[in-house]
């Protein structure tokens, strides 16, 4: 794969590498119960859209002091950790990540989660050594759909956007990737393909069981007309 059009892939984590949304929803609901706050189920959709933890807390609790945000965040994470055995990898993603890594494609993670949970998740999946860069919500002042986290990720791996794909499951994440000039593959793990496409995804998959490195290369090549013409002219 080295020398091909696809040189790097930037993955989101929750809903992309791991099927964690149902567990996050329950963990947040239990956390709100500890504060004696009742949050309707439909309002919990906000937490599934790739938001930073601080943004979620402010959305539901209003203005909080930084110390309160830290304490509330620790309490919610503690609840989530107690449920972590219920979190599984998305079908096919471990195989795909390892194949990309073996093919020489540079991988990065761009997640709104904190650094500790990001690293522990990659470690539990056996994928930590596959990722050259791990960028978390702790490293940007504004979360998705702002493009900062994706710009930071592609700067860190030093690959220009035209040679990269992003992989996202949330509307805000797709918009963040597009705002960083990245082509984005949507994963319909909890969002509809129509909504992901409307947000800017160039291709949508349900999971990764039938996704190959060559298919990702074709997806990116199909979106780069100049590169496609060069490949045809060169007999590629």
Domains of the chain, first to last = 8-19+88-233 (3.40.50.1000), 21-86 (1.10.150.240)
**pLDDT of 107:** 98
Axis crossing angle, helix 171-179 with helix 148-157, rounded to the nearest 10: 60
Mean pLDDT, consecutive 10-residue segments, the chain of 236 residues? 78 94 84 86 75 82 83 84 83 98 98 91 96 95 94 96 96 96 95 96 96 96 54 35
Please give the Cα distance from 226 to 205 (Å, whole number).
25
Q: With 0.75 as the threshold, say if the pTM is over it.
A: yes
First-to-last alpha carbon distance for the chain, in angstroms, is 13
**pLDDT of 92:** 97
**pLDDT of 56:** 85
Task: Find out whether 163 and 6 touch, Cβ atoms under 8 Å.
Answer: yes
Please give the Cα distance from 161 to 183 (Å, whole number).
8
Burial 78-115 (b: 16+ CB within 10 A, else e): ebbeeeeeebebbebbbebbebbbeeebbbbbbbbbbe
Please give the Cα distance from 178 to 93 (Å, whole number).
22
- Alpha helix stretches (DSSP H) within 50-92: 53-61, 66-82
Please give the Cα distance from 182 to 12 (Å, whole number).
13
> Would you state the structure tokens that stand for residue 182, as one six-digit string?
């990245």
CA angle 127, 131, 137 (to 5 degrees): 105
**pLDDT of 228:** 37
> Would you state the structure tokens that stand for residue 95, as one six-digit string?
């195989």
């Amino acid at each position: 794969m080295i020398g091909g059009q696809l040189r790097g892939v930037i993955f989101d984590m929750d809903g992309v590498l791991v099927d964690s949304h149902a567990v996050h929803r329950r963990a947040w609901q239990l956390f709100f119960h500890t504060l004696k706050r009742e949050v309707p189920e439909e309002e919990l959709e906000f937490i599934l859209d790739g938001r930073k933890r601080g943004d979620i807390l402010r959305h539901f609790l209003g203005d909080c002091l930084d110390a309160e945000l830290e304490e509330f965040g620790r309490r919610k994470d503690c609840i989530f950790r107690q449920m972590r055995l219920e979190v599984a990898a998305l079908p096919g993603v471990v195989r795909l990540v390892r194949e990309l890594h073996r093919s020489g494609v540079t991988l990065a993670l761009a997640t709104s989660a904190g650094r500790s949970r990001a690293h522990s998740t990659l470690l539990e999946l056996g994928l930590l050594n596959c990722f050259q860069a791990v960028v978390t919500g702790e490293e940007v002042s504004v979360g998705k759909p702002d493009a900062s986290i994706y710009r930071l990720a592609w700067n860190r791996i030093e690959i220009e956007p035209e040679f990269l794909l992003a992989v996202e499951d949330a509307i805000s994440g797709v918009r963040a990737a597009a705002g960083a000039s990245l082509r984005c593959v949507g994963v319909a793990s909890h969002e509809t393909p129509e909504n992901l496409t409307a947000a800017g995804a160039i291709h949508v998959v349900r999971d990764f069981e039938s996704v190959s490195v060559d298919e990702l290369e074709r997806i990116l090549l199909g979106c780069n007309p100049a590169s496609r013409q060069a490949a045809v002219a060169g007999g590629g």
